[in-house]
Structure 1
Amino acid sequence: MTVTYEVRIWEVRRNQSSKAPSFEARWKVGSKSRSKTFRTKALAENFLSDLRQAAKKGEAFDVATGLPVSMLADAEPSGPSFMQFAQSYVVSRWRTTAPRTRETEAYALLSLIPALVADVPGRPEDDELRQVLRNHVLLPESRRGTLTRAQAMVLRWLEKASLPLADLQEARIVRTALDAISATFDGGEAAANTIRRKRAILHHLLELAVEQKVFPTNPLHEIKWKPPKAVTVVDPRTVINPAQARQLLAAMPKVGRTRGARLKAMFACIYYAGLRPEEAADLRLKNCTLPESGWGQIILEKARPQANKRWTDSGETHESRSLKHRAKKETREIPIPPALVVILREHIDAYGIESDGRLFRTANGGSYSSSAYSYVWQEARSLVLTDEQARSPLAARPYDLRHAALSLWLNAGVPATEVAKRAGHSVEVLHRVYAKCMEGQQERMNGKISSALDE
């Protein structure tokens, strides 16, 4: 225990950030400012009176808790620490969440847990804290690895320093949490989408605390803080036209010895059928109707997203999962044009299928990592696009093929309900995301306004 005799106590003040009446007791122990919120002013004044009496008696104050030594033994149990509650939150949701969701939740907690700690001496480096959290604390007990001696010391520090969950009733602590999710691990400004995802996880965790009667209301609701606006619409500069798509697909066999050729049909599925990359990765022969001529059909059953091995059930980087935003065993039917039928038939003739029926896999039967197929895509872009185009956002990612597909369907006059059905979107999301990719809309609207003005 680290103690000090340097104590300063201020008057009680009204908590302006709280909608319900509450009062804040404020004091400082050493260089650490402390505060505690009470429902009534009398309770706050009584608490500060106890602190003043202890200071007048010459008692030492504990730096970690801000309390005089005499009050430590009498202090009421503060309940779980934030780290303990976060750990139980992750573990309790493990069975019902997808690997990518587990990874996203852990990523948010890697920012929050190291930030919500007391000023306890001997703080390890942040990367040491995150390593112990990632490989031990935020995993089910059966999946935790053996800690080295140094890691065990890091864990003991975390267990000692992690703030009580109840401290998040203080506006100051909540703002510390919001500051933490707004920064990258190296201290830079985090992307808007990242901040919003992490804030949603913090909100959900605190809602669970409300459900368990730790808090009367969610402390986040008392804070005047707005997440940054995130880009939710597709940049039309990323959308390629059909001729460019055909050129890029034709260039695939020129990339590598066999990798580009093996991936050509997968990229074609993303463009011609509007599949997500993880949906194309799990496409099987039984899902495809491929006639010798005319239109065919794909009936999607599963997706094969990629996640770090520590978050998957099997310990592999790829696992078959139900379709995004769909119930288990729900399927999605997608008519596919003759051009894609031909490409798929050629792919099957050349490479066959895996024992489980998958069409797209490495020469050894594994799944392509996102980095592997992204590399092939970038190589094809460099072969087809001009230097200026290659430096632009045009088809910068394989996923932009899907954006090009849906934009093409909408501009061709396919009803939004049908496009949404094929893409696995809601109509509302479709209109919002692809609003800027509807060619000719501005001209038509301007024409209607001109006609009205001429009347």
Structure 2
Amino acid sequence: MNTSYDVKFWETRRNSASKTPSYTVRWTVGGLAKSKTFRTKALADSFLSDLRQAAKRGEAFDLKTGLPESMLAPARNEGPTFLTFSQSYLAGRWVHLSALSREAVAYALLSMLPMLVKDIPNRPEDDDLRAVLRTYALLPESRRSELPKQLEKALGWLEKASLPLADLAEPRVIRLALDSIALTFAGKSAAATTVRRKRAILHHMMESAVELRLLPSNPLHAVKWKRPVAADAVDPGTVVNPAQARALLDAVGRVGRTRGRRMVAMFACMYYAALRSEEVAALRRQNCHLPEEGWGVITLERARPQANKRWSDSGESHDERGLKHRAVKETRTIPIPPVLVALLRAHIDEYGAAADGRLFRTGQGSRYSASACSQVWQEARRLAFTPEQLVSRLAARPYDLRHAAVSLWLNAGVPAPEVAKRAGHSVDVLLKVYAKCIDGHQSRANGQIDHALDE
């Protein structure tokens, strides 16, 4: 490595020509000009301070990168591979993440790890590489079962072929990582929301590597890569009106001999109380105040999101957690209309509750899986909808009932803060995501506009 002790620094400069304000640190090493641009002045000043402190300590500066020895990434044969860093990253974050978040990190790594490898012979099939990562290599050691023999070769190859983490400092390699998360496992373009989530995970991993001094800076800041645009707002084409919602709930009760009837009140909670699916799964008899007449109240305490058993704390498909966007023991109170009170009372009269008070469970007492709920829902759509509606996006998923509920409340004139409180959102998110007209209300809106224009 060629180094020099001849270092000079200049003041941080604001780049006024850029549309987005940025700040550039400038210095020279052995007479060679160096610069690095940051999004904020605080970051630029911090970086410049690190350089100056290194110079005061008498460190040599690398002529190629312009960085002092203490800020250079470790030699590639000394630092971790991307595989070993990924394993330590997920293991270190494990206790702080929900099962769904662990699964999201793992699936982002399933996209990247098979791509960030050296070109060495006898590469296994991608399916085998992902299988050994998903079922063994990315799990903490204490949760690993015995590695199947057919996957031993895949793991051995991956351990040898995985690129050094330091290679990700090269634009070519970090761009390869970005390109890998933009595709599905089948090689097609991934959904924009999926790409955005995986890029956020990669960004956090690179920030952690910088914090641990495994990389000199976050390499994502050095490449220009256009992210796909993700739609945050609810698609109005998915939102049912009250008549359509009632028809769907009636159809749910006609699916199978008893299977659908046991789920009517469950889906009704999503429409009449805007509950999330994980909130419905955790709803207990003691959470419900159900008077014989008038409005009732649901007081939510916990949620039971579904994830693969290998990522949960309990080893089951559902882990009990606090409510989304709330402190661990914080509750949410939702007034419920008489129609939902009646449905819940009828459900309890017919099916009772589990020993712990849970309302919704199969005939054998187990929890409903997401796939079971989806199967019943799709059959209900076939029973309730016209052929044109059936092939449309209208209420394509049970979760669209929640969107319909919040949209209905807003269109009914309920103040946004009250809607946000009931739905478990901030007002900002509510207005950005849920303020949509429901199906069939466009004509009423058009009439109001016509009336205003005629005045």
What's the TM-score once normalised by structure 1's chain length?
Answer: 0.81
**RMSD value, Cα:** 2.5
- The one-letter code matched in structure 2 to 1:309 is K
- The one-letter code matched in structure 2 to 1:329 is K
- Taking the aligned partners of 1:390 and 1:258, their CA distance within structure 2 comes to 24
Is the alpha carbon distance of 1:15 and 1:258 closer, same or farther for their aligned partners in structure 2, counting shifts above 3 Å? farther
**3-state DSSP of counterpart to 1:297:** strand
Is the alpha carbon distance of 1:358 and 1:299 closer, same or farther for their aligned partners in structure 2, counting shifts above 3 Å? same
What residue is the counterpart of 2:265 in the other structure? Answer: 265
- Taking the aligned partners of 1:325 and 1:142, their CA distance within structure 2 comes to 30
- The one-letter code matched in structure 2 to 1:211 is E
**3-state DSSP of counterpart to 2:364:** coil
- Taking the aligned partners of 1:106 and 1:280, their CA distance within structure 2 comes to 26
Q: Any conservation in 2 of the 1:287–1:300 contact (CA below 8 Å)? A: yes
- Taking the aligned partners of 1:144 and 1:189, their CA distance within structure 2 comes to 32
Deviation at 1:445, TM superposition (A): 9.6
- Taking the aligned partners of 1:76 and 1:276, their CA distance within structure 2 comes to 47
The percentage of aligned residue pairs carrying the same residue is 62
**3-state DSSP of counterpart to 1:313:** coil
What residue is the counterpart of 2:55 in the other structure? Answer: none
List gaps (5 residues or longer) in structure 2.
1-31, 39-60, 68-74
* Pairs within 5 Å for 1:63-142: 77-142=77-142
- CA deviations 1:254-288 (Å, max 9, x no partner) are 11111100000000100000001111111001100
What residue is the counterpart of 1:4 in the other structure? Answer: none
Matched, 1:307 2:307: yes
* Pairs within 5 Å for 1:134-283: 134-283=134-283
Q: Any conservation in 2 of the 1:19–1:222 contact (CA below 8 Å)? A: no
- Taking the aligned partners of 1:401 and 1:223, their CA distance within structure 2 comes to 41
**3-state DSSP of counterpart to 2:363:** coil
- Taking the aligned partners of 2:282 and 2:65, their CA distance within structure 1 comes to 64
Is the alpha carbon distance of 1:398 and 1:43 closer, same or farther for their aligned partners in structure 2, counting shifts above 3 Å? closer
Deviation at 1:18, TM superposition (A): 6.9
- The one-letter code matched in structure 1 to 2:300 is L
Deviation at 1:150, TM superposition (A): 3.5
Q: Any conservation in 2 of the 1:18–1:223 contact (CA below 8 Å)? A: no
Matched, 1:40 2:63: yes
- Taking the aligned partners of 1:42 and 1:99, their CA distance within structure 2 comes to 41
- CA deviations 1:149-205 (Å, max 9, x no partner) are 342222111111111111111000000101110111111111111111110100011
**3-state DSSP of counterpart to 1:298:** strand
What residue is the counterpart of 1:335 in the other structure? Answer: 335
Q: Any conservation in 2 of the 1:79–1:164 contact (CA below 8 Å)? A: yes
What residue is the counterpart of 1:407 in the other structure? Answer: 407
Q: Any conservation in 2 of the 1:108–1:198 contact (CA below 8 Å)? A: yes
- The one-letter code matched in structure 2 to 1:103 is E
Is the alpha carbon distance of 1:18 and 1:194 closer, same or farther for their aligned partners in structure 2, counting shifts above 3 Å? farther
Q: Any conservation in 1 of the 2:305–2:318 contact (CA below 8 Å)? A: yes
- The one-letter code matched in structure 1 to 2:104 is T
- Taking the aligned partners of 2:401 and 2:436, their CA distance within structure 1 comes to 16
- Taking the aligned partners of 1:250 and 1:183, their CA distance within structure 2 comes to 40
Deviation at 1:253, TM superposition (A): 2.1
**3-state DSSP of counterpart to 2:297:** strand
Is the alpha carbon distance of 1:17 and 1:196 closer, same or farther for their aligned partners in structure 2, counting shifts above 3 Å? farther
- The one-letter code matched in structure 2 to 1:202 is L
What residue is the counterpart of 1:373 in the other structure? Answer: 373
Q: Any conservation in 1 of the 2:99–2:307 contact (CA below 8 Å)? A: yes
**3-state DSSP of counterpart to 2:253:** helix
Is the alpha carbon distance of 1:420 and 1:42 closer, same or farther for their aligned partners in structure 2, counting shifts above 3 Å? closer
Is the alpha carbon distance of 1:286 and 1:155 closer, same or farther for their aligned partners in structure 2, counting shifts above 3 Å? same
* Pairs within 5 Å for 1:48-63: none
Is the alpha carbon distance of 1:437 and 1:39 closer, same or farther for their aligned partners in structure 2, counting shifts above 3 Å? farther
Is the alpha carbon distance of 1:17 and 1:419 closer, same or farther for their aligned partners in structure 2, counting shifts above 3 Å? farther
**3-state DSSP of counterpart to 1:299:** strand
**3-state DSSP of counterpart to 2:114:** helix
- Taking the aligned partners of 1:343 and 1:207, their CA distance within structure 2 comes to 50
Q: Any conservation in 2 of the 1:94–1:102 contact (CA below 8 Å)? A: yes
What's the TM-score once normalised by structure 2's chain length?
Answer: 0.81
- Taking the aligned partners of 1:271 and 1:320, their CA distance within structure 2 comes to 23
List gaps (5 residues or longer) in structure 1.
1-13, 21-37, 45-74
- The one-letter code matched in structure 1 to 2:395 is A
